[in-house]
């Protein structure tokens, strides 16, 4: 059912240092930082040939990655995002399989303007998964 790996999201304590590392050390194409206040993050997109890396830094008081960074002060892999054709079909399939869909299960518009859902890391080997309707 899942399609491409859309992105790997990495939570970082210092966005400019992380962006510089990707640009100058790894030689990647790195975007300017974009503030996404509705998602509580500032993001830098790293474009690779086969997928994207998103470097996420907390923005505002109630950032969804603040707790993660307090447990992982150096940063760390926050989630993987897989593409699906139909987000509601995917949700129903997850629920029928006993997978915990986070929140109220209604798809939200994600950082790319597409509907997304998050799945509990408890059901996927400790990794938070995002499904995005591609």
What residues make contact with Co ion under the rule CB under 5 A? 9, 81, 130
CB of 30 to Co ion, least distance (A): 17
Q: How far is the CB of 78 from Co ion (least distance, A)?
A: 8
Cβ proximity to Co ion: between 17 and 118 the closer is 118
Nearer to Co ion, 81 or 87 (CB): 81
Find the shortest distance in angstroms from Cβ 102 to Co ion. Answer: 13
Q: Looking at 61, 83, 106, 130, which residue is catalytic?
A: 130
Residue number, 46 or 130, with CB nearest to Co ion: 130
130: annotated active-site residue: yes
CA distance linking residue 12 with residue 69, whole number of Å: 7
- Which residue numbers are catalytic? 130
């Amino acid at each position: 059912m899942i399609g491409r790996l859309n992105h790997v999201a990495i939570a970082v304590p210092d966005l400019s240092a992380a962006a510089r590392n990707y640009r100058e050390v790894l030689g990647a194409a790195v975007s300017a930082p974009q503030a996404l206040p509705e998602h509580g993050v500032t993001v830098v997109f790293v474009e690779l040939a086969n997928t994207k890396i998103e470097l996420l830094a907390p923005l505002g008081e109630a950032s969804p990655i603040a707790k993660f960074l307090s447990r992982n002060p150096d940063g760390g892999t926050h989630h993987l995002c897989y593409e699906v054709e139909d987000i509601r079909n995917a949700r129903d399939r997850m629920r029928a399989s006993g997978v915990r869909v986070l929140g109220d299960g209604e798809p939200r518009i994600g950082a790319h303007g597409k509907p997304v859902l998050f799945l509990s890391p408890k059901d996927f080997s400790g990794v938070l998964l995002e499904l995005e309707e591609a």
